[in-house]
Amino acid sequence: MMVIRPIRADDYPALYDIAVESGHGFTSLPVNDELLMRKISRSEHSFSKQVTQPGDEGYLFVLEDTATGEVCGTSALEAAVGLDDAFYHYHLGKVVHSSRSLGVYKTVDILTLCNDYTGVSELCTLFLRESRREKHNGRLLSKMRFLFMAEFSERFAERVIAEMRGVSNDDGSSPFWQWLQEHFFSLDFPTADYLTGIGQKVFIAELMPKYPIYVSLLSKQAQAVIGKVHEKTKPALALLQSEGFSNRGYVDIFDAGPTVEARVEHIRSVRNSRRLQVVIGEVSQGQPYLISNTQLINFRATWLLLQPDEYSEQVTIPADVAAALQVDAGDWVRVTRI
C-alpha cells in the first residue's frame, strides 16, 4: 500500500537520492547534505509546533510503500513564503506606446521584477520516482496536500501558489536564463538555481535588472519559453488546472516557468472534501478516493475505492487501510474524490 506521511530524520538517504534524481531546475531540493537535513529538521519542528496563523513553517511529506518501506517520492507545503527571504517573480504585463497625432498605437509586453506573492502559501517539492509513476500515485502525492490544508486551514494563507518547472535542456541550461546571463550575470543556470535552493538569494537583488524588461528585446529562444513548462511538468500543471489553479502572468525569474495560484477555499478537492466517521468493514467496489486521518504529527493519507453515502456522516474502510491510516472505528477521516 502507498501511504503519505510526514518525513523523518531516518528518511535522509532517500531524500538525498530523490534530490539527485530530480535534476536541474528543481530548486527546492538542492543536492546539499546540510540543507537537506535542515529541511527535515524544520519539517519535524513545524508538525510539532502550535500554530494559530501561517508563519515560517514548512511541511515535508514522503510517499512510502508500506510493503517494502521504500520512499518513492516527496511533496511539501510552505505555510507563508517570503517572510524571511525576499520571494521574487517576474510579472508579465503590458505598456502602450501611442501617438494620436502620428496614428501610432503599439502594445508591448514587459517583465517586471516583483515580490507580489509575499505571505501566500506554496505547494512545492513534488517529485515521484520514475518507477512509481503509475496508478494514482502522482495524484495521491499532489492532491493529499489539499486534504491537509482543508483539515488544518489555520496553518495556511487564503491563497496558495505553485511554481511550475520551466523549460530547460538536458544539460541544465535554460533559454531564458541564457539571455539574462549574457546581459546581467556571469553565472550559468545550474549554479544560479543551486544558490537559490540553498538560500543564497542576495545576488538576485544585486544583479537583476531593476527596470522592466521589454520582452521584444529578449532572444527568440527566451521569448518562446516564457510561461511554458518542462515536458515532464505538463501532467502536474494539468492536475492543478483541474483543481482550479490558473496563471495570472507571474513567471519564475530563472527559467520563466509559470506560477499558478488559487484561493484555498476554491480548490476543488478542498471544497468537495468531507469529514466522515470510520466504520471498519469490507469494501467490494467503489470509486477512487483520497483519504486521510485528521491527526497532525501522525498525519497519514492514501487512496482506495470507496462508496461513501452522500447523506451519511460515516464511511466504511477495510481494516488494513484503517491500520495504515492509524485510525480505529469511530475516528474521523477526510475524503475527496480522485
User: Which residue stretches of the chain have pLDDT < 50?
Assistant: none
Q: Which grid cell sits at 41?
A: 529538521
Contact 145, 75 (CB under 8 A): yes
Q: What's the CATH number where 294 sits?
A: 2.40.40.20
| 158 domain residue, yes or no | no
Instruction: Supply the pLDDT for residue 199.
Output: 61
pLDDT tens for 77-114 read 999 999 988 888 999 999 998 988 888 999 999 999 99
Rounded Cα–Cα distance for residues 302 and 63 (Å): 9
Domain count, the chain: 2
Instruction: Supply the pLDDT for residue 84.
Output: 85
Same domain as 264, residue 277: no
Same domain as 314, residue 300: yes
| 70 domain residue, yes or no | no
The CA-to-CA distance between both ends of the chain, in Å, stands at: 17
Residue span of the structural domain in which 301 resides: 270-337
Same domain as 193, residue 93: yes
Instruction: Supply the pLDDT for residue 25.
Output: 52
Rounded Cα–Cα distance for residues 139 and 202 (Å): 36
| 106 domain residue, yes or no | yes
pLDDT tens for 185-231 read 767 766 766 666 656 666 676 777 778 999 999 999 999 999 999 88
Instruction: Supply the pLDDT for residue 210.
Output: 78
**Helix pair 12-22, 33-48: axis angle to 10 deg:** 120
Same domain as 328, residue 316: yes
Same domain as 287, residue 313: yes
Rounded Cα–Cα distance for residues 209 and 121 (Å): 27
| 302 domain residue, yes or no | yes
Same domain as 279, residue 191: no
Instruction: Supply the pLDDT for residue 198.
Output: 58
Same domain as 199, residue 95: yes
Rounded Cα–Cα distance for residues 338 and 107 (Å): 43
Same domain as 252, residue 196: yes
Same domain as 322, residue 188: no
How many angstroms separate the most distant Cα atoms in the chain? 79
| 29 domain residue, yes or no | no
Query: Long-range contacts made by residues 67-72, C-beta under 8 angstroms, separation at least 24?
Result: 67/1, 70/14, 71/11, 71/14, 71/15, 71/18, 72/2, 72/128, 72/129, 72/131, 72/132, 72/137
| 279 domain residue, yes or no | yes
Half-sphere exposure of 314 (CA within 13 A, CB side): 8
Same domain as 216, residue 94: yes
Instruction: Supply the pLDDT for residue 86.
Output: 82
**C-alpha torsion sign, points 121, 333, 297, 233:** negative
| 66 domain residue, yes or no | no
Rounded Cα–Cα distance for residues 97 and 214 (Å): 12
Rounded Cα–Cα distance for residues 233 and 235 (Å): 6
| 4 domain residue, yes or no | no
Same domain as 99, residue 218: yes
Same domain as 183, residue 332: no
- Considering the entire predicted model, what is its pTM? 0.90
Question: Mind telling me the catalytic residues?
Answer: 230
Instruction: Supply the pLDDT for residue 2.
Output: 95
